[in-house]
Structure 1
């Protein structure tokens, strides 16, 4: 296959995301991405050393679409919620790539920019020092937990359905809660959880 004259990291990441969106994360290989780019597999190694390199490019591409500009809301909690929502939307646009976001987020320049934007919002809200550290870690923990649940344990998944069929005599609260959970959308789960977390952040 002919090698493109100029192959940018963005082009490689877009091809890798196309493979993931179509074939799932297990389909992400150097060979599959090379085929997507209409080039020989060995030629791709001139640009990316291995699959780990592909994964890092994918995560960077996901973060690049996030608007890092200060949210327009007046209340700092609303601005924090806006930033968290932007990151959630970017990650969930490619649900099969969520494990890569969890794995490579700390090495992504885009992730660092997002964290900086969030810290600026927390600082404007009066959080500094120890309180800012804990607030930032708590918000990120909530977001990553939501993404992980959405990928591995969605409320609409079979696991929740199975638990709703448990014996109400042995597991009365679990069976009832699992049945209720099937009526909760992913958007409602995110907004509701985020409201609880933000209410607890008192500068």
Structure 2
């Protein structure tokens, strides 16, 4: 029998990402990735121990594509943070099924570590330090992750929002009215508006 061909980490990660994008996170398995690569499931175990290792490869592949170069130093700290946040959103948002994996494996990803370091440098220059800096970084990460999930799993203009507009106005007047207004808010407007509120909070605290 011919010897099984060698596979690189990038090939493994690309195949696992293709499965995840196509079949969702529930479809990611050793067998599915092996089929994507055209090898046996047992053959795949020559390269990775289990699904968790595949997950880490996927996360690193996606997050390594985030541009972590420092933004224009002539821009304000708010503008530079916005640039970094938008880069993360655009990259991860292209693969929304990966978001839960990114949360679980973010501490092992050089991509997210480098992104975090770049954001922290901007915050530090702006005078955000100590516990405020901890809260600021985690708040930004939480916002991006939550916004991506809402955009792809529960968009403001989706069927769930339509159902809310039909709630009894006597019982839910503000919720029903807000859902109607949401029809005029696109994903980009929602994301940047929420980010502005978060940065306003840092500004108000002396950032």
TM over 0.5: yes
Paired residues, what number? 202
Q: Which runs of 5 or more structure 1 residues have no equivalent in the other structure?
A: none
- Whether 1:92 aligns to 2:76 is no
CA RMSD of aligned residues (A): 1.7
The equivalent residue for 1:17 is 17
Give the CA deviation at 1:149.
2.1
- In 2, are the aligned partners of 1:3 and 1:40 still within 8 Å (CA)? no
Counterparts of 2:146 and 2:21 in 1: how far apart (Å)?
A: 22
The equivalent residue for 1:123 is 124
- In 1, are the aligned partners of 2:21 and 2:97 still within 8 Å (CA)? yes
CA 1:169–1:114 in structure 2 vs 1: closer, same or farther (change >3 Å)?
A: same
Give the CA deviation at 1:88.
0.6
The equivalent residue for 2:174 is 173
Counterparts of 2:24 and 2:183 in 1: how far apart (Å)?
A: 25
Runs of 4+, deviation exceeding 4 Å: none
TM-score normalised per structure 2: 0.90
Give the CA deviation at 1:188.
0.9
- In 1, are the aligned partners of 2:65 and 2:111 still within 8 Å (CA)? no
- In 1, are the aligned partners of 2:107 and 2:113 still within 8 Å (CA)? yes
Counterparts of 1:138 and 1:99 in 2: how far apart (Å)?
A: 17
Counterparts of 2:58 and 2:135 in 1: how far apart (Å)?
A: 29
- Whether 1:41 aligns to 2:10 is no
Counterparts of 2:58 and 2:124 in 1: how far apart (Å)?
A: 30
Give the CA deviation at 1:147.
2.4
TM-score normalised per structure 1: 0.92
Counterparts of 2:157 and 2:50 in 1: how far apart (Å)?
A: 35
Give the CA deviation at 1:2.
6.6
The equivalent residue for 1:58 is 58
